[in-house]
Structure 1
Amino acid sequence: MFITFEGIDGSGKSTQSRMLADSLRADGREVVATREPGGSPGAEEIRRLVLQGDPDRWSAETEILLFTAARRDHLERTIAPALAEGRIVVCDRFADSTRIYQGLTRGDLRALVDRLHALMIGREPDLTFLIDIDPGIGLARARARKGHEERFEDFGLPMQERMRAGFLALAAEFPARFRLIDGNRAPETVAAEVAALTRAALA
């Protein structure tokens, strides 16, 4: 099974993806925990290009190409081999983030994102958890953490608000694979709900 976590910056999705991977391993399952952009050597190089520097460093169109290139390498070298071996892949972000960040909040480019995704990636997750949180709280959390990538966070609260609306619309568009999770609760409470929903999907 291919499981992804989505949400605005500071939503807690990275924490939740790690906690789910740990929970599944405790159940005796083989799990590959990974992230985007990144998750393979080539994709990690691209990550450094796109998540650091001036907010206007790249156009939205260039970002879409860079993220798609990183995702293709990630798929080839990490995700597809793990799934072929019967492992569960838990990924912090996937194509839905590109649909929102570049496709909607930085221009009306969703159709371009989807065309490139169909051409170069060709698969969706089996299960996606959207960790929903107040945009102001998320931005404050994101800016407070160590080692954060400042570029997207520097677009500020209005972008966070547009991203949240975009993610909620995406969850409504793909209800079969999305599970909407209230991220305003304690991490352990959120993790328990995520684990229970995952086990139900795996049953």
Structure 2
Amino acid sequence: MNLLYVLDLIGTAAFAASGALAGVRRNMDMLGVLVLGLVTAIGGGTLRDILLGDTPPFCLKDETYLYISIAIALLTFFGHHVLDRYSNPLLFFDAIGLGTFVVIGTGKALDFHTGFIGAVTMGVMTATAGGVIRDMLSSQVPLILQKEIYASACIVGGVLFYILDRMGWSRPSVMLIAAGVVVGLRLLAIRHNWALPTAPPKTYPTKEK
């Protein structure tokens, strides 16, 4: 079992927990929690594979991903009270999933001979598309449309992956460093409330009386 596969399974489990916990907090039934767990875990990778022309998608070639997603979603459904003892477990799981999925997506895109923009885009898509689907299904504004450091952390990780890979670093080292940077940026942003700047509000001149 190589490092790439291990990271992929870790990301799948983390995102499945993230999606399932979002369903629990929206008072969904067991099926709803399972659906959110599945789409969060495999949605981004499935879209990536379709765009790269690697069909059938990864989760249908190796159903281990489906089994892990279902198992973690069920564990979250029945044991969510344990997770609720900790601060922001949903955001923590999301951070782990972001880091692992960015390196999976970027690395696979490079293996399919995409360029710089294509590789980074596939990495960001792998990491964020499942969360977008999760948020939309649970009637939430997707995190990538908010001012939080989220997709921007994925872009940094994807760019770093591409640069180090082109410099000839070993692929396992590149994956660990890039994933660590993404997870670290995301957790630091959560802790310190970092956010991207927004456009300044329009000001209107006051009329003198």
Does 1 or 2 have the higher relative contact order (CA < 8 Å, sep 6+)? 1
Normalized per residue, the structure richer in strand is 1
